[in-house]
Amino acid sequence: MSSDCLFCQLVSEGDHVRKGEGFVAINDINPQAETHLLVLPERHVPTFREISEFSDDEAKRMLEFVAETAREQGLEDYRVVVNVGEGGGQTVFHLHWHVLGGRMGGLPG
Ligand code: 5GP
Ligand code: ZN
């Protein structure tokens, strides 16, 4: 847990759409699509660049959690987006997967 990280705080507050073993899904506060969820690892990993900090098993379970979250929200067709670094549109430096479904605005970030 990083004390100055917004998403670490949201993880600990427990107001989740969905909770898995080591991962949570929350609604994006500023949705860019009809359904706009964020899937986050509970553990603080700043960006997708550090993906190798997850074990093979954790990385697989994280991706499965993204797919299961979308399915549970009734989405069959959707986008999964990860913004990486400031230049990639990332504004919160705790790894997260955007899940966007239904009517779309622009890409997040
Ligand atoms: P990024 O730009 O880093 O890829 O995505 C960060 C996302 O976090 C944005 O889509 C933004 O709307 C969302 N966000 C920022 N602050 C909050 C917050 O306090 N609560 C929630 N649920 N989402 C937030
Ligand atoms: Zn964090």
Which residues are catalytically annotated? 96
pLDDT at 14: 82
Residue 96 contacts residue 40 (beta carbons within 8 Å): yes
Structure tokens at 81: 């987006």
Residue 7 contacts residue 45 (beta carbons within 8 Å): no
pLDDT at 41: 98
**Is pLDDT at 1 greater than 70 in this prediction?**
no
Total domains in the chain come to 1
**Is pLDDT at 3 greater than 70 in this prediction?**
yes
Q: Which residue segment(s) compose the domain that 80 sits in?
A: 6-104
Tell me, yes or no, whether 23 lies in a domain: yes
Q: Which ligand is nearest to the CA of 2?
A: 2
How many angstroms is it from 106 CA to the middle of ligand 1? 15
Q: Which ligand is nearest to the CA of 108?
A: 1
Structure tokens at 95: 């790894």
Tell me, yes or no, whether 86 lies in a domain: yes
Tell me, yes or no, whether 1 lies in a domain: no
Amino acid at 32: Q
Model pLDDT for residues 94-105, shown as the tens digit of each residue: 999 999 998 877
Pocket test for ligand 1, best of 8, 26, 28, 104 (most atoms within 8 A of CB): 28
Question: Which CATH number belongs to the domain containing residue 54 in this structure?
Answer: 3.30.428.10
Amino acid at 85: G
| DSSP letter, residue 96 | -
pLDDT at 104: 78
Model pLDDT for residues 24-63, shown as the tens digit of each residue: 999 999 999 999 999 999 999 999 999 999 999 999 999 9
Structure tokens at 87: 């230049």
Model pLDDT for residues 64-104, shown as the tens digit of each residue: 999 999 999 999 999 999 999 999 999 999 999 999 998 87
